[in-house]
A and B are shown apart, each in its own frame.
Chain A
Amino acid sequence: MTTLALLAAAALAIACVVYVARPFLSEPEPDDDVLAGLDDRERRRLELLEERDRTLAALKELEFDHRTGAVSDEDYRALVGPLRRRAASTLRALERSPGPSDRQRTHVG
């Protein structure tokens, strides 16, 4: 039983080592071994995209809450203007924000 257990343990260890070493075995000499990530410009773009989604979701929820009566006409008028302006300015900033380099196009996400 002990020999069998040790053989099974050795097989498990070898399988684990091979599995963990797989990235090096499958790509012994890769063209690019750099971990992808966002540069400052792309981070700013991501923040703008988050802000865009946040603002548009807030507008959508405000419209719905106004329709249900949860938000009064008076509150709706006070809230909708700043939200629309914020959405517009975020979209404008995004339009001005350049896309990433070709390298990230293949790796990020």
Chain B
Amino acid sequence: MPELGRAALVIALGLAVYACVAGGYAAWARRRRLAVSAQSALLAAFASTAVAALVLVAALARRDLSFAYVAEHSSRKLPLAYALSAFWGGQEGSLLLWLLVLTGFAAAAVALGRRAGQDIIAWVVPVLGGVAAFFAFVLVAVASPFATQPAPAEGAGMVPSLQNPYMLAHPPLLYLGYVGLTVPWAFAMGALLAGRTDERWIVATRRWTLAAWAFLGVGQLLGAKWAYEEVGWGGYYAWDPVENAALMPWLAATAFLHSVMIQEKRGMLKVWNVVLVSLAFCLALFGTFLTRSGVVNSIHSFTQSSIGPWFLAFIVIAVVVSVVLIFVRLPLLRSQVRIESLVSREATFLYNNLLLVALCLTVLWGVVYPLLSEAVRGQSLTVGPPFYNFFLRSFGLPLLLLMGIGPLIAWRRASLRALGRTFAWPLGVALIAGVMLLAAGAGSSIPGLVAYTFAVFVLASIAFEFVRGTRARRALGAPSWPSAFGALVAHNRRRYGGYVVHAAIVLLAIGIVGSSAYQTVGERALRPGQSMRVGDVTLAYRGLTERTAANASELRAHVDVIRDGRMVARVEPGKNSYPVERTTSNEMAIHTDWLRAQDVDVIADEINPTSGVVFFRVLVKPLVNLIWLAGLVFVGGALIALWPDAREERRLALRYESAAAGAPVAPPA
């Protein structure tokens, strides 16, 4: 039923335009019923988009090849789960997913964000409606997923590397993150339009920002895991522009999550926070543009892209709207409070912000420079990993150190004597660890040694914070140590959830450093019966076999992994041939040693099926598994920080009740 899909999108476009125009007029003219009607239009737009999405899902499930989109991104032989994942495998489907998530988030944010006040919400609705109208317009007029054709005998299939379980979750999570960043931006713009620069918009969007940021983080990690297991080159992050597209808004949102705490705690950095939330949203749009416009392949494919110019125009509008509103409201955003000391927690947050934004803009420059070069000088350039790695070390190592310093310093200011006493224990642990690492041979990479020493410092400072906090809770009357620990976290979920997230980032850093600075690589062509040694393992090649799977022919080399003279595993690297897609994929084999936290990656780079000779590339990656463990810890920390705090909710409810009803000014308990 492509007609229903098309009609549902036209209805969604009409509703989004209504939410934008009628909502804008209602906010300006202060019309209550019209404002409520515009809010309802957002929910109706979500329902209508959901109908369109269901039509596409049904077409994919039935492999209805009369839908051009289905024929281009799936095939009759494609397993159902992957056929459904084709929803976000192509341009039109992923834009539909954007609109679906956006309208859903918009309706929910407006319904749940009443605490922001009706005057702000009234302005948030047209902003969200405007963004939704853009995506609905692109889907209706430029890139419809409901174009039809005479059904071909077979579809084009799906790129083999996308036929991976991680691809079922990675793109939707990224979209939840990208789209989620629209909500805090819309509330920030709504607050500026309403001339309301108090904390209400921040309170209303706190969880939205944190959730969007967490989705974006987990989505990237799943993407890295997919690249590691599926792409078959032994790495997990290649500084590819499409990968950077998700990293940039995540870095901006990370900076925002830290700086917004300074506004909440000290009433400072109001301008900076609006700038950061606008930067995060515009980079989320830019990320979608990079992924979907074809501009990454070549600036010339951008001009041929159906959506590229529209997207670029919309990004320019979003930037101009943000900049103009910030300038117009600048007098209201000025803070009366200043940082009292350069040695204070807010100062370390500020340093952290500057480093995060510097890293974000460096990555942006690395992405944009080749495009500008091609557009202006006609020269196609590539900014490769050495550029990014240099700046990651330059900004990343101080950031890592600040993660350990920040929690140990008090708000407002700290005396040198107090700092000495607070830092003594974590610093001592880090120095001892550094010396031990040096003795163990970690000095082969100085940045690696520095990163590990900093990592130990951060972990020690986090542990120190938990220990002395638990001790204080116990002294305050907690009946047992576990209950003291529970009370500590429950009384300040954001602070201690944040520490858990910091621990996750440290694990990530340890994993990245271990698997890059300390990895061992070996390459050799082997005949069956021959072996090679890489690091502390021996690889014995036994022979080749060929087998047939549902939609591919699989050629596999059988390799024994031998450590200390004992076979510990048999791995099967090889290649898959996909007849429908007419392509071949490299299938890397991974042997994971959990005790050593080490992976042995075996890649069959070239296979001669006649002679049985295989050119192997083997990578021994220490600690790489900590990267994936970091993902689990990250989710745990984010959940702690996101978990509703009844005391905080009561306090906020009382605050806004008091503002409205002139209630007594006694503070909540």
The interface of chain A, by Cβ under 8 A from chain B, is 1-2, 4-6, 8-9, 12-13, 15-16, 19-24, 27, 30, 32-38, 42-43, 45-47, 49-54, 56-58, 61-62, 64-65, 67-72, 74-75, 78-79, 91, 94-95, 98-100, 104-105, 107-109
- Interface-side segment among B396-404, B498-506, B590-598, B652-660: B652-660
Query: In the complex, are the beta carbons of A23 and B40 less than 8 A apart?
Result: yes
Given contact pairs A64-B472, A108-B656, a sample of 9 additional A-B residue pairs in the complex whose CB atoms are under 8 Å apart: A9-B3, A19-B44, A20-B44, A43-B196, A57-B265, A70-B410, A70-B468, A95-B665, A109-B659
What residues of B have a CB within 8 angstroms of the CB of A107 in the complex?
118
What residues of A have a CB within 8 angstroms of the CB of B65 in the complex?
none
Let me know if B41 is at the binding interface, CB within 8 A.
yes
| B410: contacting residue among A1, A75, A94, CB under 8 A | A75
What residues of B have a CB within 8 angstroms of the CB of A38 in the complex?
117, 119, 196, 659-660
Query: In the complex, are the beta carbons of A12 and B48 less than 8 A apart?
Result: yes
Instruction: Knowing A35-B122, A52-B665, A74-B415 are in contact, say whether A16-B33 is a contact too (CB < 8 A).
Output: no
17 A-B residue pairings within 8 Å (CB atoms): A4-B1, A5-B4, A6-B3, A9-B11, A27-B33, A36-B119, A37-B117, A46-B200, A49-B655, A68-B468, A68-B472, A72-B415, A75-B413, A79-B412, A79-B413, A94-B665, A105-B660
What residues of A have a CB within 8 angstroms of the CB of B655 in the complex?
46, 49-50, 53
Docked complex: B1-45 residues within 8 A CB-CB of A: 1-4, 7-8, 11, 15, 18, 26-27, 30-37, 40-41, 43-44
Question: How far, in whole Å, are A105 and B659 apart by their CA atoms in the complex?
Answer: 10
Question: How far, in whole Å, are A68 and B196 apart by their CA atoms in the complex?
Answer: 38
What residues of B have a CB within 8 angstroms of the CB of A64 in the complex?
469, 472
What residues of B have a CB within 8 angstroms of the CB of A34 in the complex?
30-32
Query: In the complex, are the beta carbons of A13 and B7 less than 8 A apart?
Result: yes
Instruction: Knowing A33-B31, A58-B411, A75-B410 are in contact, say whether A12-B7 is a contact too (CB < 8 A).
Output: yes
Nearest 3 A/B pairs, CB to CB:
A99-B662, A9-B7, A37-B119
Query: In the complex, are the beta carbons of A109 and B32 less than 8 A apart?
Result: no
Let me know if B523 is at the binding interface, CB within 8 A.
no
Question: How far, in whole Å, are A14 and B283 apart by their CA atoms in the complex?
Answer: 37
Let me know if B47 is at the binding interface, CB within 8 A.
yes
| A6: contacting residue among B7, B199, B468, CB under 8 A | B7
What residues of A have a CB within 8 angstroms of the CB of B571 in the complex?
none
Let me know if B439 is at the binding interface, CB within 8 A.
no
What residues of A have a CB within 8 angstroms of the CB of B15 in the complex?
16, 20
Q: How many A-B pairs with Cβ below 8 Å?
A: 191
Report the minimum CB–CB distance from A58 to chain B (whole Å).
Answer: 7
Report the minimum CB–CB distance from B7 to chain A (whole Å).
Answer: 3
Instruction: Knowing A24-B37, A38-B117 are in contact, say whether A54-B266 is a contact too (CB < 8 A).
Output: yes
Docked complex: B419-455 residues within 8 A CB-CB of A: 421-422
Report the minimum CB–CB distance from B669 to chain A (whole Å).
Answer: 11
What residues of A have a CB within 8 angstroms of the CB of B422 in the complex?
69-70
If over half of A's interface residues share one DSSP class (helix, strand or loop), that class is named, otherwise mixed; here it is: helix
Query: In the complex, are the beta carbons of A75 and B415 less than 8 A apart?
Result: yes
What residues of A have a CB within 8 angstroms of the CB of B469 in the complex?
64, 68
Question: How far, in whole Å, are A94 and B667 apart by their CA atoms in the complex?
Answer: 11
Query: In the complex, are the beta carbons of A53 and B119 less than 8 A apart?
Result: no
The interface of chain B, by Cβ under 8 A from chain A, is 1-4, 7-8, 11, 15, 18, 26-27, 30-37, 40-41, 43-44, 47-48, 51, 114-115, 117-119, 122, 194, 196, 198-200, 264-267, 408, 410-415, 417-418, 421-422, 465, 468-469, 471-472, 475-476, 651, 655-663, 665, 667
Query: In the complex, are the beta carbons of A22 and B40 less than 8 A apart?
Result: yes
Instruction: Knowing A16-B47, A20-B44, A67-B475 are in contact, say whether A33-B32 is a contact too (CB < 8 A).
Output: yes
Report the minimum CB–CB distance from A89 to chain B (whole Å).
Answer: 12
Question: How far, in whole Å, are A6 and B264 apart by their CA atoms in the complex?
Answer: 52
Query: In the complex, are the beta carbons of B47 and A61 less than 8 A apart?
Result: no
Instruction: Knowing A34-B32, A50-B655, A70-B410 are in contact, say whether A108-B40 is a contact too (CB < 8 A).
Output: no
Question: How far, in whole Å, are A5 and B52 apart by their CA atoms in the complex?
Answer: 12
- What residue of chain B has the Cβ atom nearest to residue A2's Cβ? B3
| A100: contacting residue among B32, B118, B421, B662, CB under 8 A | B662
What residues of B have a CB within 8 angstroms of the CB of A100 in the complex?
659-662
Query: In the complex, are the beta carbons of A22 and B37 less than 8 A apart?
Result: yes
Query: In the complex, are the beta carbons of B661 and A47 less than 8 A apart?
Result: no
What residues of B have a CB within 8 angstroms of the CB of A75 in the complex?
410, 413-415, 418
What residues of A have a CB within 8 angstroms of the CB of B36 in the complex?
23
| A50: contacting residue among B47, B199, B411, B418, CB under 8 A | B199
What residues of B have a CB within 8 angstroms of the CB of A6 in the complex?
3-4, 7
What residues of B have a CB within 8 angstroms of the CB of A74 in the complex?
415, 417-418
Query: In the complex, are the beta carbons of A1 and B118 less than 8 A apart?
Result: no
Instruction: Knowing A9-B11, A94-B665, A95-B665 are in contact, say whether A35-B119 is a contact too (CB < 8 A).
Output: yes
Question: How far, in whole Å, are A53 and B194 apart by their CA atoms in the complex?
Answer: 23
Report the minimum CB–CB distance from B631 to chain A (whole Å).
Answer: 30
Query: In the complex, are the beta carbons of B30 and A37 less than 8 A apart?
Result: yes
Query: In the complex, are the beta carbons of B40 and A69 less than 8 A apart?
Result: no
What residues of B have a CB within 8 angstroms of the CB of A47 in the complex?
198
Query: In the complex, are the beta carbons of A33 and B33 less than 8 A apart?
Result: yes
What residues of B have a CB within 8 angstroms of the CB of A57 in the complex?
265
Instruction: Knowing A53-B651, A57-B265 are in contact, say whether A12-B8 is a contact too (CB < 8 A).
Output: yes
- What residue of chain A has the Cβ atom nearest to residue B475's Cβ? A67
Question: How far, in whole Å, are A71 and B465 apart by their CA atoms in the complex?
Answer: 12
Question: How far, in whole Å, are A12 and B55 apart by their CA atoms in the complex?
Answer: 14
Query: In the complex, are the beta carbons of B117 and A108 less than 8 A apart?
Result: yes
Question: How far, in whole Å, are A6 and B11 apart by their CA atoms in the complex?
Answer: 13
Question: How far, in whole Å, are A107 and B119 apart by their CA atoms in the complex?
Answer: 11
Question: How far, in whole Å, are A82 and B115 apart by their CA atoms in the complex?
Answer: 31
What residues of A have a CB within 8 angstroms of the CB of B31 in the complex?
33-35
Report the minimum CB–CB distance from B468 to chain A (whole Å).
Answer: 4
Query: In the complex, are the beta carbons of A16 and B48 less than 8 A apart?
Result: yes
Query: In the complex, are the beta carbons of B115 and A109 less than 8 A apart?
Result: yes
